[in-house]
Amino acid sequence: DAKTTQPTSMDCAEGRAANLPCNHSTISGNEYVYWYRQIHSQGPQYIIHGLKNNETNEMASLIITEDRKSSTLILPHATLRDTAVYYCIVRVAGEWYGGSQGNLIFGKGTKLSVKP
Amino acid sequence: DSGVTQTPKHLITATGQRVTLRCSPRSGDLSVYWYQQSLDQGLQFLIQYYNGEERAKGNILERFSAQQFPDLHSELNLSSLELGDSALYFCASTRQGNTEAFFGQGTRLTVV
C-alpha cells in the first residue's frame, strides 16, 4: 500500500472552506484515494474517494493532481460539526485488509478544528 | 448512520475474562472486517470474513478469534483479557462491486 503524509493539525474558521492536503507520492495505478473522518472516537465515516478524476458529493470535493501524487479534500463551508480527525488512505479498490506499517489501515490523520 | 451495527457500545471487564463483540453488517454486504484502535493510535486490521469464510488475517492475537454466521453477522471473541486489550474495536462491511468500507460505531472495551 502507498504511504500517505498529512499535516498533524489544521484550523479553519466556521463558514470558510477547509482544504486538507495529502501526499501519496508512491501511489500505484490501481490504488484509489479515500477520505474518512472520525469524530471523537466514533466510527470512521466515509467521505469520498477517487481514482484520478476530481470527485464531488454532498459532503466534500476531492481534487487529485494529474500525476496522482497528492490530493486535497475540500469541505466547502466548514461547520463546528466538521471538527474531526481526517484520514487520507490509499488502497486497492475494496481491499480493507492488510495495510502499510504492519496492518495499519488508518494512520494519524489530520486533526481539523473548526472555530467560530 | 452507516448501517453497520455493533453491540455492546461499552464493555468493562476484568483481566483474565472473556468477552464477545457483535457486528451486523449492512444489508447485502458479504465482507466483514474487524479493527482495533488503541488510545491515540491508528486503526489496526485484525481479520476479515467473506460470506462465512475467513479471508484475511492481520494483527490478531491467538487469544482472539472471530467467526461469521450464515446470517452474515460476525462475532469477535477476546479471551484471557489483559489490560493492554483495552481499546475501541470497530467492524466494517463492504459490498462486492463497491470500494468503500462502512464502519460501525465501535465497542469500547475497558479491561480493569
Please report the pLDDT score of residue A44 as a whole number: 94
How many other C-beta atoms are found inside a 10 Å radius of the C-beta of residue B48? 25
- Are B95 and B26 in contact by the 8 Å Cβ rule? The answer is yes
In tens digits, chain B (112 residues) has pLDDT values of: 889 999 999 999 999 999 999 999 999 899 999 999 988 778 899 999 999 999 999 989 999 999 999 999 999 999 999 999 999 999 999 987 667 899 999 999 999 9
- The answer to whether the CB atoms of B44 and A108 lie below 8 A apart is no
CA distance, residue B25 to nearest chain A CA (Å): 14
Q: Are strands B107-111 and A45-50 parallel, antiparallel or unpaired?
A: unpaired
- The answer to whether the CB atoms of B94 and A49 lie below 8 A apart is no
CA angle A77, A83, A85 (to 5 degrees): 120
